């Protein structure tokens, strides 16, 4: 196996580098070392430490940010982009492997009575403020009709905050779930829709206007199919009150043909292998010239500015010391 040295920058405490998806996938083909002196890094949006790293940068995020190819060499994200060998579309929902398997067997083993005799609607939300306004408005419409149970940190009404590993079990108690993304953004499909399908109920969705290219539009209620949220709410009421219509929707298959194949482990590994199989000195893709800065320093947080300045001084000192010694 070829040995590669990688690390993860600006993920905060969100992941364990040793067990994160990309590490486990790469270890099926490479001898992977999580190194403090990596040749390659995966980085995301929760910091700016990656700016001080001079090796090969691979960007990935589940957030709605578009990759900046002046800063990264390669990227994986949710936008529908084509850029030579530098980009692979890999939205956040594709990471939910266990829930994808559950969604593939949606409603199997459930009787009609079990599907129908559940509470109305749940909402598992981390926040209620970082949105474009569609989600709070839909929740207001739902609450005016029937009780919505909140199982997340935001507006919790059930007495327990359900972490990700308990979320699907909680949602299985309900006929519907609010699966609104934080904002309208093409390609931006996070974990909410998959979690809802894995819960064997009907998701109420908003976010990616092209979501029906990957998910069967007959399997959920999509805000983008209606002229307004009020019109969507009227259809939700109709489905809730018509048992046959509810069962018809909840028993639909989840995925469009080819959707899972496009984001399969094999496809992701093929993209990453192209990066790691080529000679290291040929893998760089981003523009590089000296002097060169790849960020607006005045917009960075103070601690991140210090990281960049410290790295810059260190490089200058090494060059100066090397010249004097020569």
What is the separation, in whole angstroms, between the first and last Cα of the chain?
39
- Count other Cβ atoms within 10 Å, centred on residue 59: 25
pLDDT at residue 234, as a whole number = 98
Q: Choose among 137, 223, 155, 227: nearest CA to 184.
A: 223
Question: To 10 degrees, what angle do helices 229-241 and 243-250 make?
Answer: 110
Q: Which residues contact 99 (CB under 8 A, 6 or more apart)?
A: 168, 191, 194, 195, 197, 198
Q: Is the peptide bond before 4 cis (omega within 30 degrees of 0)?
A: no
Helix (H, G, I), strand (E, B) or coil at 143: helix
Nearest to 201 by CA among 144, 128, 140, 124: 124
pLDDT at 238: 98
With contact defined as beta carbons under 8 Å apart, do 1 and 277 qualify?
A: no
Give residue 309's pLDDT.
76
* Helix/strand number for the chain, H first, E second: 11, 11
With the C-alpha atoms ordered 122, 157, 99, 118, is the resulting torsion angle positive or negative? negative
> What's the pLDDT at 301?
52
Among the listed residues 236, 240, 247, 174, the one whose alpha carbon sits nearest the alpha carbon of residue 206: 236
pLDDT at res. 325 = 56
Q: Could you report the per-residue pLDDT of 50-94, keeping only the tens digit for each?
A: 989 999 999 999 888 999 999 999 999 999 999 999 999 999 999
The pLDDT value recorded for residue 303 is 55
Domain ranges of the chain: 3-90+263-298, 95-258
Output the average pLDDT for the chain: 91
In angstroms, rounded to a whole number, what is the distance separating the alpha carbons of residues 127 and 121?
Answer: 18
CATH superfamily of 95-258: Glycosyl transferase family 10, C-terminal domain (3.40.50.11660)
**Within this chain, domains 3-90+263-298 and 95-258 share the same CATH topology:** yes
Amino acid 31: pLDDT: 98
Report how far residue 138's alpha carbon sits from residue 308's, in angstroms, rounded to the nearest whole number: 43
For the four alpha carbons of 304, 309, 314 and 315, in that order, the dihedral sign comes to positive
Q: Please, are residues 202 and 175 in contact by the beta-carbon 8 Å criterion? A: yes
**Ordered alpha helix ranges (H), the chain:** 21-26, 97-104, 112-116, 134-145, 164-171, 192-198, 229-241, 243-250, 259-262, 265-277, 302-325
**pLDDT tens for each residue of 207-219:** 999 999 999 999 9
Neighbouring C-beta atoms of residue 38, cutoff 10 Å: 18
Task: Determine the Cα–Cα distance for residues 63 and 213; give it in Å rounded to an integer.
Answer: 20
Instruction: Give every residue of the chain whose pLDDT is below 70, as ranges.
Output: 129-130, 288-306, 321-326
Do 211 and 189 meet the contact criterion of CB atoms below 8 Å apart? yes
43 Ramachandran zone, left/alpha/beta (phi>0; psi -120 to 50): beta
Q: So what's the pLDDT on residue 156?
A: 94
Report the alpha-carbon distance of residue 123 to residue 120 in Å, rounded: 11
Residue 172 carries which DSSP code? T
Query: Which helix (H) or strand (E) segment is 232 a member of?
Result: helix 229-241
CATH class of the structural domain 3-90+263-298: alpha beta
């Amino acid at each position: 196996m070829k040995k590669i040295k990688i690390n993860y920058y600006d993920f905060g405490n969100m992941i364990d580098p040793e067990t994160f998806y990309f590490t486990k996938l790469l270890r099926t083909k490479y001898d992977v070392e999580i190194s403090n002196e990596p040749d390659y890094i995966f980085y995301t949006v929760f910091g700016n430490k990656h700016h001080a790293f001079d090796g090969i940068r691979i960007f990935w995020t589940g957030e709605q940010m578009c990759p900046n190819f002046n800063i990264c060499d390669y990227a994986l994200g949710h936008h529908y982009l084509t850029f030579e060998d530098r980009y692979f579309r890999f939205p956040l929902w594709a990471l939910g492997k266990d829930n994808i398997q559950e969604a593939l067997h949606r409603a199997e083993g459930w009787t009609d009575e079990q599907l129908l005799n559940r509470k109305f609607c749940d909402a598992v939300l981390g926040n209620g403020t970082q949105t474009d306004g569609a989600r709070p408005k839909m929740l207001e419409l739902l609450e005016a009709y029937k009780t919505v149970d909140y199982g997340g940190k935001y507006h919790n009404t059930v007495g327990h905050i359900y972490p990700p590993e308990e979320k699907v079990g909680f949602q299985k108690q309900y006929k519907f779930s609010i699966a609104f993304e934080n904002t309208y953004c093409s390609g931006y499909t996070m974990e909410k829709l998959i979690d809802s399908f894995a819960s064997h109920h009907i998701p109420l969705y908003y976010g990616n206007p092209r979501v029906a290219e990957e998910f069967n539009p007959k399997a959920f209620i999509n805000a983008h199919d209606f002229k307004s949220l009020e019109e969507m709410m009227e259809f939700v009421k109709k489905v809730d009150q018509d048992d046959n219509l509810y069962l018809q929707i909840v028993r639909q298959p989840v995925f469009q043909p080819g959707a899972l194949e496009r984001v399969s482990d094999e496809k992701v590994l093929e993209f990453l292998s192209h990066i790691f199989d080529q000679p290291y000195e040929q893998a760089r893709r981003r523009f590089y010239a000296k002097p060169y800065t790849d960020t607006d320093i005045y917009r960075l947080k103070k601690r991140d500015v210090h990281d960049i300045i410290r790295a810059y001084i260190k490089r200058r000192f090494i060059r100066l010391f090397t010249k004097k010694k020569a």
